[in-house]
Amino acid sequence: MTAAAHTRPRLTFRGVIAGEWTKFWSLRSSWITLGVSLLLLAAFGVIAALTYSPGLVQGPPGTAVSTSAVAVALTGSTFASLAIGVLGVLVAAGEYSTGLIRATIAAVPARLPVIAAKTLVFGAIAFLVTAVGAIVAFVAGAPLISTEAIAMGLGDDGVLRSLIGAGLYLALVGVFGVALGMLLRSSAGGIAVLVGLLLIIPGLTRLLPDSWSEQVTPYLPSNAGGAMMTVHQADGALSAGAGLAVFAGWVAVALVAAAYRLVKTDV
């Protein structure tokens, strides 16, 4: 018998991705939460259009964005971000609570391909679902405010970019959740940190002196993400590109920390 006969088949990265894809869709919570995210985006967008009155549409906590048809359509983005983020945490931390992570690491001893595949699979799915939800919300709600001064069409400058930006932001929130779940290995802990960073801390910045708040607020995760899906940038807010870079930086730091712990510590 040759030495090759004793060699175990090498699991390729494509195989790792296929495994993560199967694990994701085998969970009922994945289907339910994605459906809820899509419903929140579409339903709140239509409701906001039906009840629209001239003024300001509130953006992420601690900020205000200029009213536009896109801002009205994306009223449900905050709620959708919580659903997608929580699902990301559960997808990652759930493997630790069930013990499935041991089988995963046994199949992929290198470990890093695990977090890379999980991130790619969940990020791609979250982006497709939420980008579709954002576009549906706009297409369904825009005719309801077509007589208002803020009326816009899908072909207007910045509209499609903002809607795609909303999908990208929500996908990054989901990946952020995956990173926190892998890092903290606790569903409750990951969700608490995610909610704190996205909702609670931005609100607390209002307690800071104005000079400090103006310097800090734009760089918080939800505020940087809000810049990605805004047609008209408010004074003091980041540009769409800068918002993407800042929020991607937050996500990258969390992913690096999660990868380091995965490689350096026992499962």
**5 occurs within a structural domain:** no
**124 occurs within a structural domain:** yes
Q: What is the mean pLDDT of residues 96-110?
A: 90
Cβ contact 114:105 at 8 Å: yes
Cβ contact 45:72 at 8 Å: yes
Tokens of 99: 């013990």
**220 occurs within a structural domain:** yes
Reported pTM:
0.89
Range of the domain at 235: 12-264
**244 occurs within a structural domain:** yes
pLDDT at residue 9 greater than cutoff 80: no
Q: What pLDDT does 61 receive?
A: 42
Which residue reads 């983005």 in tokens?
77
The rounded distance, in Å, linking the Cα atoms of 145 and 151 is 6
Q: What pLDDT does 47 receive?
A: 92
Which residue reads 């979250």 in tokens?
126
The rounded distance, in Å, linking the Cα atoms of 225 and 120 is 19
Residue 144 banded pLDDT, cuts 50, 70, 90 = confident
**2 occurs within a structural domain:** no
Q: What pLDDT does 234 receive?
A: 75
The rounded distance, in Å, linking the Cα atoms of 8 and 232 is 56
Residues whose CB falls within 8 Å of the CB of residue 226, separated by 6 or more in sequence, listed in order: 59, 60, 63, 65, 169, 237, 243
pLDDT above 70 covers a percentage of the chain that reads: 91
**19 occurs within a structural domain:** yes
Q: What pLDDT does 189 receive?
A: 96
Considering the chain, what is the average pLDDT of its residues?
A: 88
**1 occurs within a structural domain:** no
pLDDT at residue 208 greater than cutoff 90: no
**7 occurs within a structural domain:** no
Q: What pLDDT does 77 receive?
A: 93
Look at the chain and report how many structural domains it folds into: 1
Mode of pairing for the β-strands spanning 64-65 and 57-58: antiparallel
The rounded distance, in Å, linking the Cα atoms of 109 and 89 is 22
pLDDT above 90 covers a percentage of the chain that reads: 64
Sort 212 into a burial class: Cβ within 10 Å, 0-12 / 13-18 / 19+.
exposed
The predicted-structure confidence for 39-77, as pLDDT tens digits, reads as follows 999 999 999 888 887 754 444 444 444 578 898 999 999
